[in-house]
Chain A
Amino acid sequence: MISFLFFSIRRAWQGFWRNALMSLAATATMVLMLLLLAGFFIIQTGLLAALDFTEQKVEVVADIFDNAQPSQIEELRQRVLSLPEVAEVTFVSRDEALARFRERLKEQGEEDLSKALDSNPLHASLEVKLVTPEVFGDVVGMLREERIVEKVKEQQKLVDELLTVTNVLRTAGTVLLVVVGIIALFIIVNTIRLAVFARADEIEIMRLVGASDAFIRWPFVFEGAFVGFLGAVLTLVVLALAAEPINGFMLEFFQVLPIEVGSMTRGLVTLVMGTGVGLGIVGSWVSVRTYLIR
């Protein structure tokens, strides 16, 4: 068994280098396809992260009367927080509201007109973040009933629109990723099939001298795995070299935070490695099978 394993790996290694041109062609195809796949994966991940980010901003805002006591506000905050559909409740005081307002004006490069005001025109508010953006539940109704609440701004309409858009984008992205994956699969399997075809003579001789199927198959499977592994490593190297611009692009375009880029890297490595090695193995397996079934 051990010697069989050694035999297979040694033959796989020899096979790879004896047919260096075919092997490298297969590896190059693998790299191109994996890059394509990785590219789509990055865009898809960025898109999803950006959508999550946007969705997080969706909330219910309850303006509080200026004369409400801090204890009343805190009590209300706790009650709202205990609702199952609520993720987070933040109290924004009048001063904070003003500070934010000034901040925003500055960002937009407009003159701070609020300095001209002698009193703060803004209200304090409770900002409610929902667990799932679709599910408002009783939050809005309950807040409306409260005495200290002046008015409730629910962004239901906006949310509905946003959700339609994000769901469409999400589905489209996933479908596209799967389609690209299938195309990559076909191209890679076909390239490996060609590489195996180039060695049909060898397989025929093996059969004629009485080699068992396992002895014929496994060296090719290992070779396929090796091509896949090499392709995946090369792809990851290319991606690593391109990491800086990609990160920049992600931040710029999708406004995704670096942490999310980190977790994406793990997903990407898994995707590229898994697809590469997996396709290498599957490709060789089905290619050799054609010659064994007879």
Chain B
Amino acid sequence: MLHDVTKRYPNGKIALRDVDLVIPEGDFVFLVGPSGAGKSTLIKLLIRDEIATRGDVVLDGQDLARLPRRQVPRMRRKIGIIFQDFKLLPTKTVWENVAFALEVTGYPRRGIRPAVDQVLAIVGLSAQAKQTPNQLSGGEQQRTAIARALVHDPRLIIADEPTGNLDPLISWEILQLLLRINELGVTVLMATHNAEVVTALRKRVVALEEGRIIRDEVGGAYHRED
């Protein structure tokens, strides 16, 4: 998916250097590395929030740098994006927050209710559908965000430190949810600092440091084990 990618920010900072990374469909990948290693930058390239300075970022057969601006929204609908800070609208209920993703993308109106109800059931929030984010725990808020990411039926879920604001127990809950989604055939890429989770799950681990991939092992731990 990433071929020989370098990202240099306008201020001259080189956040990624010669990164090669292929993620097959259905994979579950942890992206780890110290703060400032370039994890978020890599994610921004994948959702075309930023464009690679050099090299190709190919998603689902499409070169993102060549993708016309008009097609970007359509491409983004194939990706579910989750952040550390949830990014929910505080004035809307759980249900409305999820429905919002469909409304603003021109989804047929009559299709919205069943689609939202379904994803809320998947993340286990059907009972809280009418509550607003400030009436929810952090874990429930993140599950709302996951529901919103799922509602377009994406092939890929990208999560940037989704458990960064959550306590260990809730973090495990979120991980369980992401694993279940992965079992449904959705590719998951998750950037995280959560060593315990990464080491315990023994999934594929890609480690970045100063913009380079220093390790890429299947069944790896958070830290290098030699």
Q: Compute how far the CA of A183 lies from the CA of B109 in the bound complex, rounded to whole angstroms.
A: 43
User: A215 touching B104 by the CB < 8 A rule?
Assistant: yes
Tell me if B100 is interfacial: C-beta within 8 Å of chain A. yes
Q: Compute how far the CA of A135 lies from the CA of B84 in the bound complex, rounded to whole angstroms.
A: 78
User: B87 touching A204 by the CB < 8 A rule?
Assistant: yes
Partner of B76, one of A18, A204, A210: A210
User: B73 touching A205 by the CB < 8 A rule?
Assistant: no
When each residue 160-180 of chain B gets 1 if its CB lies under 8 Å from chain A and 0 otherwise, what string results?
000000000000000000000
Tell me if A128 is interfacial: C-beta within 8 Å of chain B. no
User: B106 touching A4 by the CB < 8 A rule?
Assistant: yes
Q: Compute how far the CA of A207 lies from the CA of B75 in the bound complex, rounded to whole angstroms.
A: 11
Report the contact-size class of chain A (Cβ under 8 Å from the partner).
Answer: 20 to 34
Residues of B within 8 A of A205 (CB): 87, 89, 100
Q: Compute how far the CA of A238 lies from the CA of B103 in the bound complex, rounded to whole angstroms.
A: 39
Number of A-B contacts (CB under 8 A): 53
Residues of A within 8 A of B35 (CB): none
User: A210 touching B105 by the CB < 8 A rule?
Assistant: yes
Tell me if B39 is interfacial: C-beta within 8 Å of chain A. no
Closest to A212 in B: B73
Residues of A within 8 A of B87 (CB): 201, 204-205, 208
Closest 7 CB pairs of A and B: A210-B76, A210-B77, A211-B104, A209-B101, A212-B73, A210-B73, A206-B104
Can you identify 29 A-B contacts, CB atoms within 8 angstroms?
A3-B109, A7-B106, A18-B91, A201-B87, A205-B89, A205-B100, A207-B73, A207-B76, A208-B76, A208-B81, A209-B76, A209-B77, A209-B100, A209-B101, A209-B105, A209-B152, A210-B73, A210-B75, A210-B77, A210-B101, A210-B105, A211-B104, A211-B105, A212-B73, A212-B105, A212-B106, A213-B70, A215-B105, A294-B49
Task: Spell out B's residues near A (CB within 8 Å).
Answer: 47, 49, 70, 73-77, 81, 87, 89, 91, 100-101, 103-106, 109, 148, 152
